[in-house]
A and B are shown apart, each in its own frame.
Chain A
Amino acid sequence: MVLSETDRKLIASIQDGLPLVSHPYAALAAGLGTTEADVIERLQRLQDDGMVKRMGVVVKHRALGYHANAMVVWDIPDDAIDRVGKLLAAQECVTLCYQRPRCLPDWPYNLFCMIHGRERTAVLRRLAQIIDANDLGDIPREVLFSLRSFKQRGARYAARPVRAAHG
């Protein structure tokens, strides 16, 4: 799909959020010099084409009481990664699950998932349950808890401003 000038203006106008009014797309249309129906149609097309994943929220985990955030990394044989990746992604409290390249010899891990919990012991307990219930005990893994978050914002692109949900 090729983005038109109007599509780009629309993306720029909503990257910082939707207007908090009963008819947000009518409000956007007024600023773009088009109609509400046109804005809705364009956004639906952007969603159908996968450029917009959904209209939703980014929650601040810490503000919601999720103080522990663990990146759990696994060294999984390439032919098993699809099965284990889908299995981990389906677990409650797993919020991201990505396959990434190994950086040998220093970094053997190729599957990354995030587990959020109210405290570390809860995250570790949840991880132990997942390992136990799915027979993952033999897979080499490490748990990397976050200590501090220095910077947390959506991705910004200088020339063509757009925000991404996550890395």
Chain B
Amino acid sequence: MDNIDRVLVNELQDGLPVCRRPFDAISTRLGISVTEVTDRIGKLLDDRVLSRFGPMFNAERLGGALTLCAMQVPEADFERVTEQVNAFPEVAHNYAREHDLNMWFVLATERPERIAGVIAEIETSTGCRVYDMPKRDEFYIGLKLPV
């Protein structure tokens, strides 16, 4: 990743306009061709610096549902429970964190009423209680992680 890539990633974090030639403005600002902009984005995706380039959907507005869940998993069972939880297609992210509640994952479902069902299935399959913490409010972030 060189300096142009860094500036490019920072610019992309602000979002692209929806217009016929969305890469033109960024290409002018960076002083490189549109082809070089798209080639560099492709390379950043191939190199897994970016995991995604495109629309950021609002799942709730599209009729789906999201929630953050936590579990207290005994250390000896951690690998087994991780496999069981990750096997659910509704599990989007899963992190081990340093706390008594040591497994944190995001559930995403096509329909809101499915959340409770998935949680019940996870509790049955793992034997661990799931703490359900859906978003109540979101505070707007300026979306900046300078690189």
Taking Cβ atoms with an 8 Å cutoff, the residues of A that contact B are 3, 11, 14-18, 20-26, 36, 40, 43-44, 46-47, 49-61, 63-66, 69, 71, 81-82, 85-86, 88-90, 92-101, 103, 106-107, 110, 112, 116, 142, 144-160, 162-167
Nearest CB of chain A from residue B111's CB, rounded to whole Å:
9
Within 8 A of A (CB), among B121-140: 131-140
Contact of A54 among B15, B64, B92, B93 (CB under 8 A): B15
A60 touches which of B49, B58, B133, B136 (Cβ 8 Å)? B49
Query: In the complex, which of the residues B41, B86, B91, B134 contacts A20, with contact meaning CB atoms closer than 8 Å?
Result: B41
- Would you list the 4 A-B pairs with minimal beta carbon distance, nearest first? A155-B108, A167-B106, A54-B15, A89-B139
The reply to whether A18 and B53 contact each other, CB–CB distance below 8 Å, is: yes
What number of A-B contacts does a CB cutoff of 8 Å give? 253
CB contacts (< 8 Å) of A16 on chain B: these are: 54
Q: Which residue in A23, A85, A106 is a CB contact (below 8 Å) of B137?
A: A85
Residue B113 lies at the interface, judged by CB distance under 8 Å to chain A: no
B93 and A151 within 8 A (CB): yes
State the CA gap A103–B100 with chains docked (Å): 14
Return chain A residues, CB-CB under 8 Å to B35: 22
* Chain B residues with CB below 8 A from A50, complex form: 58, 61
Docked-complex contact A95 and B145, CB < 8 angstroms: yes
Distance in angstroms from B39 CB to nearest chain A CB is: 8
13 contacts between A and B (CB under 8 A): A11-B62, A22-B21, A49-B61, A50-B61, A52-B58, A54-B55, A54-B56, A60-B49, A85-B137, A100-B134, A148-B96, A149-B93, A153-B93
